[in-house]
Structure 1
Amino acid sequence: MVGNNDSLMTTRHAFVNALSYSRPIILKVSSLMSEPNLLAAIDLGSNSFRLLIARAAGEGPSPSVRAIDSVKKSVRLAAGLDTDRWLDADSRMRGLEALSVFSNRLRAFAPQAVRAVATNTLRVARNAADFLADAQAVLGYPIEVISGQEEARLIWVGASHALADQRRRLVIDIGGGSTECILGAGSDPLMLDSIDAGCVSATVTHFGGRRADERSFERATRQIKQTFAPVARRARALGWEHAVATSGTAKALTQIARSVFGEPGLDRVALERMRQALFAASLDESPLFAQIKSDRRAVIAGGLAVMTAVFDEFALDSIDYCEAALRDGILIELWSERSGRDVREQTVERLEHRYRLDQARGRWLADTACALYDQAARAIREERLERRALLGWAARLADAGRVISEENHHRHAAYMLRNADMPGFNEAEQTALSALVLAQAGGLRKLCGMVSGELGWLSVLALRLAGLLERHARGDPSPPPLPALFFKQGLARIEISREWLATHPEARDALIDESARWIDQRLLAEFEVREL
């Protein structure tokens, strides 16, 4: 496997280097040109990579987001996964070539106007990190790997915004490597699930380049139904009024049902006729499947098997197609965040209520930690704002573990946040938040491999110092004076009121112990506690 990947290594690096060499220069110029209400969403899917550019307007929960340009590149990334979950060189190269096209379209976009997400295949590929490093160099923007639940939530945001009514609705999105199943009403999802079965993975697994026949199709459908069964049971227990399908497989099957059979949507009769057509002739020879593009025909057998399993397990008679899905959800949230409605903030508020946290204490910790961070972060040449936001949220959720036990509460909180359903947070952000909460107490050795970069360790120090000050000022009529913090290149200094320390001698001892802990772990060469 390593040999196969290495065979195109020289070509790939030349390709990446040629594109990434000039990209920073382009960004410096073009970010000044960007129209403020233009947004771009990029979806690195398991079948296709897609770019959607839109113009946004309005505020509140229902902004107007109007698509003005889109680009789709068939990559079939999931087909490049081997049995050990390694992405082959050819699929990686196809992905980089697609992203180079997107990069050219995005020259006039500021970084804050673009969001790129990667889904199922890059969630499971063992060499995803290598590909993503190259992909970000080519694209010129960060790429987030989002969880299946977060993907489902964003699909719901897009579909529910487009459908705009309060009916309880089931939404099914068959992608290349996974299928997202969402049930909700209005803008509120009640159930978010992601199943590892998509049109590409099903085609490769069950048909493997062979023509589908009745026996292989029945076997494929039976196995796929088993993966859907638990989710379908929960959905049937909740019930729904309207079933909707989104994305490429649903679009292609609905297109055939309408243009060939004259049906308004997709139903069981149309599915059965497509199934029989699949057995009767090869895909390229079938007049039925000539209605769809060749790249979609290549994975239609797997897509049809997944849709058949969905109809059977969810007991559907018909399903309507909805154009809006993941990319639309990304754009809506991107605009909402720029308008001051960050979904992550809403998630943190929900968790504060769920765990009955002392919000006044949490806000004080957050304000103090962020104030300490701000003083030192100015001297560090890294992206500061995202780290600062995560630090503030970690401080507010630091006490979540106390609902389980006072002892090792920081470990309980870290586990809870690492495994919680946290809408708006991607996997990297959720992992970083969990690590920060773990870092609030105890030794520092456990954080090695979890925290990196000067800003990462500065965030840890700021949170620990805020907690130390709060503990030793508890019961005081007024909060402690804010110390000055300096932190750069392995050196730290905290300047704190001598008068306050004189009345809080245990705080002085705790600060000295904290400085020794950082030096003992060789995280800092010097940590001075200076009384002023």
Structure 2
Amino acid sequence: MSSPLYAVIDLGSNSFHMLITRQLADSVQIVDKVKRKVRLASGLDKNNNLSAKSIARGLECMRFFAERLQDFPKQNIRIVATATLRLANNRDTFLQQANQILGQNITLLSGEEEAKTIYKGVAYTSNILGNKLIFDIGGASTEIIIGENIDPIKAVSLDIGCVTFNQAFFATGELTQAAFSQAIAHAKTQITPVVKDYQDIEHQVVLGGSGTMQALAEMLMYAKQPTLIDYDFLIQTKQQLIDCKSFDNIALDGLVGERIPVFASGLCILIALFESFQVDRLHLSSGALREGLLYDMLPTTKNVDIATLTINSMMSKYHVEQDHGARVLYLAKQLFDAYAPTNAQLGQQDAFILGAACQLHEIGLLIEYKQHQHHGAYIIEHSQMPGFNQSEKQTLAMLVQQQKDSIKKGVLDNQLLPKTRCLAMLMILRVAIILASRRQQDQLPILKVSGENKMLVLMFDVDWLSAHPLIKDELSREIKELAKFDLTLTIKLS
């Protein structure tokens, strides 16, 4: 009988990671994560030979991982090494001993293979269609990839990383304007020659998910800001670091201690990427190399985005009536398509979150009807949801919680996404739920919908609305509730 457990090990230049998951129906459940800061790249000398101490640190970590792997079938394990071991002249000294400890051979990825696998990890776990430009900053290499949907088109790996840059530009521990300028300028000399290869390929979004981007996103979340990294925020953060003067004095809100040692060098590389590619903003990805390895290994995740698998799995697990979720989604899509063109702040991400809310809005009914929307929000907030980033999960929970009754202003004020977008999604969800309340496909209204700035206009057949006095009354109540938030719901009869 095949095992549902899978393990992926990534021997990175800064950290060694082990990800253990379980396949549950069509979803992926994270069982355990193990991370050790080995900082292998810091053990490279000027001749690209690993020191005995760095090899010893790496082998010690292999013994930790081997203990956990002994119960896994070999076909359910992927172990890869990346930039530092590509660079190291004496890598075989480490790899031979590590293979013996693990009882399984480590695959040394080429730079291009690493970049393409990173792209797949981002593509599998994101909900963004179309072309994507992806940056990934590791300890000894930086990957730049562009692709369409789940297929990489152009991929390159550059020998610049946050550990190697730390040694080159911040070895004294001082944070000076000169050090930042030198690091950014050097990164640009490596990045600029490849920019022209990407200029003829259009992209709709820029994504990144490595440690530097994660650290910046955590700082934004701490400040209750959307996890959207823009150029101004990078420059502001650089100045904050310079003001700290040294690594020992770094105390930035939301920046956790383990990220501090290589944060400045990673930031320099990211600024160079932004400037070289003329990027305005970057979205955080929930996947990268390990997820790319994992989802390529799983038998049922090919060509299906992970967010869809997550939604379907949660609907099945909590016995949600899928036909009713589909009815609410059908109506919400009509409302969104009419309202979004007149409200420029709404986009693809909002349509995705709104769709998930339509399908999962009754997830709390399994606990009990009373306060079911609050139970549903709790389930979402405390569930592993591959394919959803933190701000998407938070907004999804808010929509489920506020789907009926009075809208709580305090909940809206605490969202990571802009309040105007959250209110627009909430209005559409609440109206769609009301219109689908008969729970019968043949009883859905035939609508003509139009939108203006902060106004949603519904035109009903007069006979349909007369035949549904309860829905008419609920819509009247909803008009009053939305008006409290400067939103206008207008009912017209044909």
TM-score, length of structure 2 as denominator length: 0.58
- Counterpart for residue 224 of structure 1: 187
Output the aligned Cα RMSD. 2.0
Contact 2:81–2:109, Cα closer than 8 Å, also in 1: yes
Amino acid at match of 1:283: F
Secondary structure in 2 aligned to 1:220? helix
Alignment of 1:217-296 (within 5 A): 217-260=180-223, 262-281=225-244, 282-288=246-252, 291-296=254-259
* Shift in CA distance, 263/161, structure 1 to aligned 2, threshold 3 Å: closer
Alignment of 1:97-246 (within 5 A): 97-246=60-209
* Shift in CA distance, 217/261, structure 1 to aligned 2, threshold 3 Å: farther
* Shift in CA distance, 278/296, structure 1 to aligned 2, threshold 3 Å: same
Q: Does 1:37 align with 2:1?
A: no
What are the superposed Cα offsets for residues 408-464 of structure 1, whole Å, 9 maximum, x if unpaired? Answer: xxxxxxxxxxxxxxxxxxxxxxxxxxxxxxxxxxxxxxxxxxxxxxxxxxxxxxxxx
Distance (Å, rounded) in 1 between the aligned partners of 2:102 and 2:165: 29
- Counterpart for residue 317 of structure 2: none
Q: Does 1:94 align with 2:61?
A: no
Contact 2:216–2:229, Cα closer than 8 Å, also in 1: yes
CA offset at residue 337 of structure 1?
10
What are the superposed Cα offsets for residues 462-511 of structure 1, whole Å, 9 maximum, x if unpaired? Answer: xxxxxxxxxxxxxxxxxxxxxxxxxxxxxxxxxxxxxxxxxxxxxxxxxx
Alignment of 1:393-408 (within 5 A): none
* Shift in CA distance, 267/165, structure 1 to aligned 2, threshold 3 Å: closer
**Aligned-pair identity (%):** 36
Q: Does 1:51 align with 2:18?
A: yes
Which aligned runs of 4 or more in structure 1 are off by greater than 6 angstroms?
Answer: none
Distance (Å, rounded) in 2 between the aligned partners of 1:37 and 1:261: 38
Distance (Å, rounded) in 2 between the aligned partners of 1:237 and 1:206: 33
Distance (Å, rounded) in 2 between the aligned partners of 1:198 and 1:312: 17
Contact 1:43–1:51, Cα closer than 8 Å, also in 2: yes
Task: List gaps (5 residues or longer) in structure 1.
Answer: 1-33, 340-532
Distance (Å, rounded) in 1 between the aligned partners of 2:182 and 2:234: 17
Q: Does 1:302 align with 2:243?
A: no
TM-score, length of structure 1 as denominator length: 0.54
Aligned length: 301
CA offset at residue 272 of structure 1?
1.1
Secondary structure in 2 aligned to 1:40? strand
* Shift in CA distance, 257/337, structure 1 to aligned 2, threshold 3 Å: closer
Distance (Å, rounded) in 1 between the aligned partners of 2:102 and 2:208: 30
- Counterpart for residue 6 of structure 1: none
Q: Does 1:67 align with 2:34?
A: no
What are the superposed Cα offsets for residues 279-299 of structure 1, whole Å, 9 maximum, x if unpaired? Answer: 1112332321x6334332111
Distance (Å, rounded) in 2 between the aligned partners of 1:214 and 1:263: 28
Distance (Å, rounded) in 1 between the aligned partners of 2:127 and 2:113: 21
Distance (Å, rounded) in 2 between the aligned partners of 1:251 and 1:140: 33
- The counterpart of 1:328, out of the listed 291, 312, 326, is 291
Distance (Å, rounded) in 1 between the aligned partners of 2:254 and 2:50: 31
Distance (Å, rounded) in 1 between the aligned partners of 2:29 and 2:113: 23
